[in-house]
Structure 1
Amino acid sequence: MKLVIFGLGYTASFYGLYHARMFTEVTGTKRAPKSETLGRVRLLPFDGAAENVDPRVAAAVAEADALLVSAGPDESGDPALRRLAKEIASAPKLKKIIYLSTIGVYGDHGGEWIDETAQPKPSNLRSRQRLAAEAEWFALARASGKEVYVLRLSGIYGPDRNVLVKLREGTAKRLIKPGQVFNRIHVEDIAQAIDACFTGRAPGGVYNVTDDEPAPPQDVVTYAAELLGMEPPLERPFEETPLTPMQRSFYGENKRVSNRRMKALLDLDLAYPTYREGIGALVAEGE
């Protein structure tokens, strides 16, 4: 079986390198790869803004059994669909497509619990573009008969990308905004969810891929500092702390996101159900 991955970011690279074991061949795209391979992944150039598509990318899509889409959309929509919609729709062996999205499409829900039935109300351009790209993929599914899974991911962490790294670098903050919580998800559990979609019988649709415990961000920093034997950063009021517009936008959305559909239909047991197990494992692994 053959897998094509559009956009080898942190999560998609992790999946292609360390999971995807059912696939005998994995091809991934980058805008301008500096080598021909990344581990077991064959690299091909793909830029959705370019006029021409490398014919090897179109050939890989034509032979693919599955597609994993991680490349971010822009003001013109999803780059893979913009350049290769016909090839994807007509690929004879292609049955399942997974699109990696974000729980950011839900916007702010005042700290309430929500699930996949909640009305999306994205509050920034990035999330509006993601929601529009989701709709594009579902439209392709209806027209082509492909099974499309949209995985809405919460805050991603894992090896080399976590609060432990920030503490050691001195960039971790304990910002206090009363009532604020965030969901998180370890990259290993995202990979499990991707595998479950590709190998299981769950129907296509939207799945929240997130942990069990939405938690105040300052609690996560404090816990990680304790594990490292460090003093946590001083608490700082959110409103008095200089932040980038992107950082501030994250704190403008407050919700508790349920993962019940993921667990039930994908038959998934999280390896790291809360930040405590995830951060603890990273410390044990030497992070």
Structure 2
Amino acid sequence: MPARTMLSFGHGYSAGALSPILHRQGWTVFGTTRSADNADRVRDTDATPLIWPDQPITAELDQASHLLISAGPGADGDPVLEAMRNEIAARRDQFEWVGYLSTTGVYGDHQGGWVDENTPLAPSTKRGQLRVAAEADWQSMDLPLHIFRLAGIYGPGRGPFAKVRNGTARRIIKSGQVFSRIHVDDIAQVLAASIARPNPGAIYNLCDDDPAPPQDVIAYAAELLGLPIPPAVAFEDADMTAMARSFYAESKKVRNDRIKDELGVTLLYPDYRTGLQALLAQDG
């Protein structure tokens, strides 16, 4: 097999779960980060850090057979295309696979109803609108593009246990509110499966099998810890940041049949219960 090299833009939590898998398979992985302070974190994921855009990455781009874009869009659009559109376009024939990590927020609010990859995009938040625009921008590039729409991400270091333990967790109640979520290890295995079975133009929802109200997840975490269930707070009365409150603007259940049918994925954590149990076991 020819040498394979992944260039990961915005190498964060999700990309950091994929890179050890690729490293074990003999890949070279480069991960960009904006700050030298994050270089060790990138190295800890078996990737070579690149401080970008402060440092040139032409040599690494020339070497790349695969691209992964995790960097979120801003008011000026997708930051990778803003900086490197022409360089990426000039090398389009060298890429075997390009992955773009988006969000299920592109579907907007469905009042607790189901959505799949064919559901029209109707984001109700500014973040979702920027993601729709970024998806379209990448789709215009004539690359072997694969779009992954991620539900709420949790995993090591990103679970509810710390807040439950320190007493700051709350069960915020909003009638009919339901979220889909995905364990970071399942994100990594879906990306690896797609790389093994490229299907340019494909779009995949990444979520587990059990959309659930957020208060149920907090309550289960408390049960696992043997601690009192945190108090219920009405959404209207909750003291929340604007960002946190915006997540409650949309309620939907996300279907994940395509990752199973097309990529043969069996979820490691098909619901939040198995995921939280595994996190607690990892915590010791």
Range of TM-score over shorter length: over 0.9
Q: Deviation of residue 102 (structure 1)?
A: 0.5
Report how many aligned residue pairs link the two structures: 277
Aligned match for 1:38, one of 34, 43, 62: 43
What are the within-5 Å matches in structure 2 for residues 177-192 of structure 1?
A: 177-192=174-189
Please tell me whether the aligned partners of residues 189 and 272 of structure 1 are also in contact (alpha carbons under 8 angstroms): yes
CA distance in 2, matches of 1:168, 1:219: 16
TM-score, normalised to structure 1, is 0.91
Give the whole-Å Cα distance in 2 for the aligned partners of 1:93 and 1:22: 20
Give the whole-Å Cα distance in 1 for the aligned partners of 2:24 and 2:195.
11
Q: CA deviation at 1:263?
A: 1.3
Q: TM (normalized to structure 2)?
A: 0.92
8 Å Cα contact 1:3-1:23 kept in structure 2: no
Tell me by how many angstroms 1:169 deviates.
Answer: 3.2
SS of the residue 2:94 aligns to: coil
How much is the aligned-residue C-alpha RMSD, in angstroms?
A: 1.6
SS in 1 for 2:118: coil
C-alpha deviation, 1:21, in angstroms: 3.5
| Bigger shift: residues 111-120 or 193-202 | 193-202
Could you tell me whether the CA contact under 8 Å between 2:97 and 2:200 is conserved in 1?
no
In the alignment, residue 9 of structure 1 is paired with which amino acid? G
- Contact map agreement 1:74 1:129 (CA 8 A) in 2: yes
1:121 corresponds in structure 2 to 122
Per-residue deviation, 1:200: 1.2
Q: Residue deviations 1:213-233, cap 9 Å, x none?
A: 110111111111111111111
Instruction: Give 3-state SS (helix, strand or coil) of 2:36's partner.
Output: coil
**TM superposition outliers: structure 1 runs of 4+ over 6 Å:** none
Identical-residue share of aligned pairs (%): 45
Aligned to 2:132: 131
Counterparts of 1:23 and 1:140, CA distance in 2: 29
Q: How far apart are the structure 2 equivalents of 1:8 and 1:43?
A: 9
- Residue type of the alignment partner of 2:99: I
For 1:78 and 1:201, locate their aligned partners in 2 and report how far apart those are by CA, in whole Å: 23
Query: What is aligned with 1:193?
Result: 190
Question: For residues 262-273 of structure 1, what are the structure 2 equivalents within 5 Å?
Answer: 262-273=259-270
Offset of 1:285 from its aligned partner?
A: 1.5
Change (3 A) 1:202 1:265: farther
In structure 2, C-alpha distance between the alignment counterparts of 1:277 and 1:185, rounded to whole Å: 11
**Aligned counterpart, 1:151:** 148
Distance 1:198 1:218 in 2: 35
Alpha-carbon separation, structure 2, partners of 1:237 and 1:205: 40
Q: Distance in 1 between matches of 2:8 and 2:166?
A: 32
Does the C-alpha gap of structure 1 residues 255 and 30 become closer, same or farther in structure 2, counting only changes over 3 Å? same
